[in-house]
Structure 1
Amino acid sequence: MTYDPASANPLVGNPLETRTDMSRALLALFDPLLACFSNGNARVRLNGAAAHFDRAAADLEGFARPLWGLAPLGAGNGDFAHWHRFAEGLANGTDPAHPEYWGTVNGRDQRMVELAALGFALALVPEKIWEPLDARARGNVVAYLKHVRQFDYADNNWKFFRIFVDIALDRLGADFDRSLTRQYLEELEGFYIGDGWYRDGNVRRIDHYIPFAMHFYGLIYSKLVDDDYAKRYRERAVLFARDFRHWFAADGATIPFGRSLTYRFACAGFWSALAFADVEALPWGEVKHLCLQHLRWWKDKPIADRDGVLSIGFGYPNLLMSESYNSAGSPYWAFKAFLPLAIAEDHPFWTAKEKVPQQAPDIVSQHHPGMVIMRAGGDVVALSSGQENLQMRCGTEKYAKFAYSARYGFSVEADERAFALAAFDSALAFSDDGLHYRVRETNEEAKIAGEVLFAKWSSFADVDVETWLVPAAPWHIRLHRIRTSRPLWIAEGGFAIGRRDFELDALSASGGIAYAVGEADFTGILDLGSSVKRSGIVQKAMPNTNVIVAKTLVPQLRGQIPAGETILVTAVLALDDPAALSCAWTTPPKAPEIAALEALVREKGVTVSAIEAPGQMP
């Protein structure tokens, strides 16, 4: 029998319904790492791939990140037979005389990130990794933590990392400058923008770092420290929960959006942190369901290598969509989802019966991230305008597409010189030579007016585009007004669906229409009356470009536009039902009037909060 990638997924066969199930899942995910511990237990090296930081820091990452789940397991009196490894590793990693020393920090450093997990573990389970140490080892640990905290941390969620180190130092009785703790708590307040939403720094992006970092750390802080900040963090989490629940589909999938998606089920970390902090932001049965249903979504995905070690990637192993800071140990931030293991069996999170959240409205506007969330069959789609990321690899695809889907994900491009072969799902691309291309990267202006999004952007310096995104669930409409000084080739894509082997999918393309019918899905794109003619094609996208499935089909409309003004009007549909071809596809929405959209944005438009941060230099 050939290798079945799902069979190596440590979550396969686990119902993930109870506290015992969650404990079993954690240990099944951790056990494959045991063979990768160094002789002195301070380093965990999983493969030969590299991140931008040094190997010692990557090995520390492999050692520390599992503690986000193991420390809660220990705090909840769960059985774990390898605490001695972490105690020994902590001692050796902080000992400058030991061959496995983690290295001295002399500036902003990846070690700052990983020491947050150690600070968390030292505060939560000191009896496991601190009390077994002798006086010399304890002195080394404290000295290492105190040395690191004197340096400036990145101006984003990293500021919580020093705070977690400080909480540990305080619990261990160390003497240190507490004014630095207060400084970072105050600076983190500058990222809060209201209604439970943060930015992850003063940048034009609002992504999963808000739930699995800003709120996650804030809720842990609120459990470990009793002060005014703790109260604020709890109140904000309640507000945020009301919006974030809309990012999840009924099957547990969440909308893949932004960077660091290799952290996978860390996306459930927010719901887990609510349980840890005793914050009933939604009824406990709903919080429990959102958390566990998301974990269950991952059970049949090929997310691990043959030995059970989590791979870099999202729905499958994929270095193409990774970040420069993803080492082989990076995926283990997913262990943030296991925070409820710290709470007792009689906690209402565990005793409550799972409850599916009340049916959400078909369309929900969220002006802080610049999204209009809509339900489409079993899918959740976020129409999006107002975000950008010019720093990350494939940042354009991760932030600046027109739509993001929980079921269909998004694609990153494999070759910037392949205009004819690119996926362009949920994007509009321009080319002046038929080879190279440009898509939306940034927005000059972004507004939301009720359920309509508007953005003004440029593909080339002499090409201005205005885009309106209009939900018409299960469809959505894109209207583009383009002004260019020269003729250009254009391509616009719908959603990507999985492509079967042996050409079993049904493809159709003609003037102004393209669709594909797969095993379980339908995807189509339709011209609603543009000022130029476009031809439909179904693109067999390059493999390993989509974040959820490795082979995809993308319906596209392609053509040419002349110098001057062009109007494009596009309708897009994707549903988890092949029968959509004879149902929803036969009743497309009507094209909106551009004058009516302009009036709506002029009279009711509100600037998207994400874009109000200072722009980034490319």
Structure 2
Amino acid sequence: MATDDAPTGGGLAAAVAALPRDSTRSPRTGWTRQHHEQVADRSLLALRRWASPGRGRIDLPGPASRAGRASDGLEGFARSFMAAGFRLAGSTADPHDHAGFYAAGLAAGSDPSAPDRWPTLTETPQARVEAAAVAIALHESRAQVWDHLDPGVQERVVEWLAGSLGARYGDSNWRWFQNVTQAFLRSVGGPWDAAEVEANLDFLDGCYLGEGWYSDGRPDGRSGNVDWYNPWVMQLFPLWWCRILGADAPVDRLEVYRRRMADLLPDLVGLFGVDGAPLFQGRSLVYRFATTGALWAGPVFGLDAVAPGRVREVGSATLRHFVEHGAYDEHDLLSLGWFGRHEPMRQPYSGPGSPYWSSLGFAGLVLPAEHPVWSDPEPDGAPAEVTTPVWPVGWLVGQHRDGIVRVVNHGVDHSGADPGPEDPMYCRLAYSTATGPVPSSPLPGLAPVDNLAALRGGQGRWSQRRPLELTGVDGRQASSEHRVVYLGADGELEPVGGGAVLQTWSVLRGPVEVRLVRLRADEGPLAEPAALVLSGWATPTRDVVRAPAVSAVVPLMGGLRTGESVHEEENPFGSALRVPWAETSAPVRPGDVHAVAVVLAEEEPELPELLLQDGVAEVRWPDGERDVVDLT
């Protein structure tokens, strides 16, 4: 049901652009707290025309998720309620009556007899996720919403949330949703299960890799399952669980979670380009600026691992990046996509309300205007040029003066310990803030996709980079290896005889990755000849939203010929995706070292030389710096 101040749509980006910019306090972005408030307010107001008559659901246009329309309507309500909760927590005013709107929705959604009632947590597993969003929002708006609800409504909300007790939550980040939901129940005198909470904590602790990084749902020490869920659930929710519990939060656990977040934040802040673009890697990227939620948690929980002004700079740049690139559509709704709508990013669990998990990007609004995160100046100066090794996940994170962040991946494959077809959002050798992968696995007969180190065998079969074994991360270098397993035309995996293993080493500096690859065959030669292919970054040539000027693969060693492929596919950055590659001119031989320079740049860089002697490769950069890679 629309309200008088619900806009008819399309004005959010223009309204935000019209706000005055503060070049003194925010020399990099110009944005202030007012810009964040304006985006939050206008986004919330735009949803009201899509609310059900009782306001219990927000039924947005678009295809339904696999959970169905009722669940999708709950999702629109619950996730946007988080943004309203953050907005209310840090302000003494509520000029748009967000509190009243969501209070009405709570009354209707929790009423089993209402036409827009919420599906219960036993009826729809997705409701277990949304219950956690409702719990966070209720906590943050406790004084404005919960405390003013009719006792009968409070009882119904507690009864609905209590469906989390005994419910089956997946062995993944979902365990945090159960704990956060029960934390709010406990805080209002509702039921909660200490044994369930403790079992979840034990499982989630088992997923911790070290130095701030978790592998989602993998308590076996493998770093395969790493993506943006690491900050926006696995790190953020433990701290919010403690925040909701207040004085009942275990002090030892709070300190553990604060320390883990402090370890993550310096790495996390390095995954955003100067323009605010987050690393384009992993699933659920339609959540966009939820990527900044954990950054805001730093100052919320008194952590100084990243300076407050720097937190605001990245948070503002990222929100501005999406606002200015069409994330909000003609109705001021967040679409399923990255910039604008991009239907191929839809996943089975994605509904029209799914993008509002981005509400986590407004978490900084719980802090008052006088807090240093809003009042300290942004850092001013040129972007740093540095390569950071992230050993728990096998990444090299490279920042360069062109503002693009490049990540070379030697540890993440989204797999277990058994071979499997590659996932393009996890298994590629590199990802960036300015490109996306070809959205296909290396299938038989397909031209080379981006960022491969793979064998191409008979019938055009490709070896799959899964499972991946990290073998080293240090300085500007990382390395990994994987067994050679082909994907056949029938979708079946075909192991290669001879104990064949592909070993890969990377040295990342600025816009250039030096990539070295060697085939090892411990049990004899390959049964059939194969070519080694090393490919570079995919950049669009049509419908271009963004494309760095240079994507190239230049041979440095090992008898390679070059070429390029154009894939008639699209990603959010454009279509007709061009991929440069190099390929051995003769069948690959075990023991031979092949090397290329893989370039992603805004202008042609000078390339290094490569020397190999006695199993040691020396990379000689044009400015005289050197990297030594031990291949023994």
Matched, 1:470 2:507: yes
Matched to 2:555, the amino acid is: D
Distance 2:534 2:136 in 1: 47
Distance 1:337 1:439 in 2: 35
Distance 1:436 1:12 in 2: 51
Q: Which moved more, 1:564-573 or 1:118-127?
A: 564-573
Matched, 1:260 2:284: yes
Q: CA deviation at 1:361?
A: 5.2
Matched to 1:18, the amino acid is: T
Q: Which moved more, 1:215-224 or 1:118-127?
A: 215-224
Q: CA deviation at 1:113?
A: 0.7
SS in 2 for 1:252: coil
Distance 1:82 1:415 in 2: 48
The answer to whether the Cα contact below 8 Å between 1:455 and 1:468 also exists between their aligned partners in 2 is yes
The answer to whether the Cα contact below 8 Å between 2:89 and 2:140 also exists between their aligned partners in 1 is yes
Distance 1:321 1:73 in 2: 29
Among candidates 125, 142, 163, match of residue 141 of structure 2: 125
Distance 1:94 1:39 in 2: 14
SS in 2 for 1:27: helix
Deviations 1:87-107 (A, max 9, x none): 222222222222222223338
State the partner residue of 1:555: 580
Deviations 1:214-255 (A, max 9, x none): 222233234443422112212222222222222223222232
Matched, 1:481 2:518: yes
Size of the aligned set, in residue pairs, is 572
Q: CA deviation at 1:442?
A: 2.1
Pair 1:304–1:287, CA change in 2 (3 A): closer
Distance 1:152 1:291 in 2: 35
Which aligned pairs between 1:580-595 and structure 2 lie closer than 5 A?
580=604, 584-585=605-606, 587-590=607-610, 592=612, 595=615
State the partner residue of 2:467: 442
Among candidates 507, 523, 526, match of residue 551 of structure 2: 523
Q: CA deviation at 1:201?
A: 2.4
Distance 2:352 2:443 in 1: 26
% identical aligned pairs: 26
Among candidates 219, 234, 237, match of residue 217 of structure 1: 237
Greater relative contact order: 1 or 2 (C-alpha under 8 angstroms, separation 6 or more)? 1
Pair 1:116–1:601, CA change in 2 (3 A): farther
Q: CA deviation at 1:371?
A: 0.7
State the partner residue of 2:6: none
Distance 2:444 2:342 in 1: 21
CA RMSD of superposed structures (Å): 3.2
State the partner residue of 1:33: 47
Distance 1:330 1:591 in 2: 51
The answer to whether the Cα contact below 8 Å between 1:385 and 1:455 also exists between their aligned partners in 2 is yes
The answer to whether the Cα contact below 8 Å between 2:435 and 2:547 also exists between their aligned partners in 1 is no
SS in 2 for 1:574: strand
Distance 1:6 1:408 in 2: 27
Among candidates 27, 30, 37, match of residue 23 of structure 1: 37
Q: CA deviation at 1:358?
A: 8.7
State the partner residue of 2:431: 404
Q: CA deviation at 1:85?
A: 3.2
Q: CA deviation at 1:46?
A: 1.9
Q: CA deviation at 1:557?
A: 2.9
Pair 1:519–1:249, CA change in 2 (3 A): closer
Pair 1:200–1:519, CA change in 2 (3 A): closer
Pair 1:312–1:415, CA change in 2 (3 A): farther
Q: CA deviation at 1:596?
A: 1.6
Q: CA deviation at 1:370?
A: 0.4
- Structure 1, unmatched stretches of 5+, are 503-517, 604-618
SS in 2 for 1:466: strand
State the partner residue of 2:624: none
Distance 2:68 2:380 in 1: 45
State the partner residue of 1:573: 599
Q: CA deviation at 1:108?
A: 8.0
The answer to whether the Cα contact below 8 Å between 1:534 and 1:560 also exists between their aligned partners in 2 is yes
Among candidates 75, 80, 87, match of residue 73 of structure 1: 87
Distance 2:116 2:107 in 1: 10
Deviations 1:555-596 (A, max 9, x none): 23356653753643221111123xx2xxx25x3442555812
SS in 2 for 1:66: helix
The answer to whether the Cα contact below 8 Å between 2:280 and 2:431 also exists between their aligned partners in 1 is yes
Q: Which moved more, 1:151-160 or 1:398-407?
A: 151-160
Matched, 1:200 2:216: yes
Distance 1:593 1:568 in 2: 14
State the partner residue of 1:318: 342
The answer to whether the Cα contact below 8 Å between 2:387 and 2:475 also exists between their aligned partners in 1 is no
- The TM-score with structure 2 as length reference comes to 0.82
Q: CA deviation at 1:396?
A: 1.7
Q: CA deviation at 1:72?
A: 0.9
Q: CA deviation at 1:430?
A: 4.3
- Structure 2, unmatched stretches of 5+, are 1-8, 22-29, 487-494, 619-627
Distance 2:16 2:569 in 1: 25
The answer to whether the Cα contact below 8 Å between 1:8 and 1:302 also exists between their aligned partners in 2 is no
State the partner residue of 1:454: 479
Distance 1:451 1:253 in 2: 23
State the partner residue of 1:55: 69
Distance 2:300 2:15 in 1: 22
SS in 2 for 1:32: helix
Distance 1:28 1:300 in 2: 15
SS in 1 for 2:580: strand
- The TM-score with structure 1 as length reference comes to 0.84
